[in-house]
């Protein structure tokens, strides 16, 4: 897919058409996040952290709608699913 072409076309959209595209993008992002969440289970070992920052490794102890609670040593972290990857 040519993203440069998509970007150029977006610049020519009307406000109504842009709202439709935004809705479609938001729905796709929601689907991808739901898929990511479903890939984790209680007890899974995960790694999380900033892309260019310190990474931490821990175990999922609670699954909430938007974030999981991950135990790292004696600490507990509320981590968005999008920031986690399997260890």
Region 32-45: what's the mean pLDDT? 88
72, 57 Cβ separation under 8 angstroms: yes
Residue 66's pLDDT is 86
CA dist., res. 87 & res. 71, Å (int): 14
Residue 51's pLDDT is 82
Q: 7-29 pLDDT, tens per residue?
A: 999 999 999 999 999 999 999 98
């Amino acid at each position: 897919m040519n993203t440069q072409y998509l970007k150029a076309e977006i610049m020519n959209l009307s406000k109504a058409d842009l709202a439709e595209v935004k809705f479609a993008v938001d729905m796709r992002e929601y689907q991808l996040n739901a898929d990511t969440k479903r890939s984790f289970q209680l007890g899974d070992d995960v790694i999380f952290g900033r892309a260019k920052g310190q990474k931490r490794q821990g175990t999922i102890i609670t699954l909430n709608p938007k974030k999981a609670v991950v135990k790292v040593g004696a600490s507990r972290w509320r981590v968005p699913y999008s920031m986690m990857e399997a260890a």
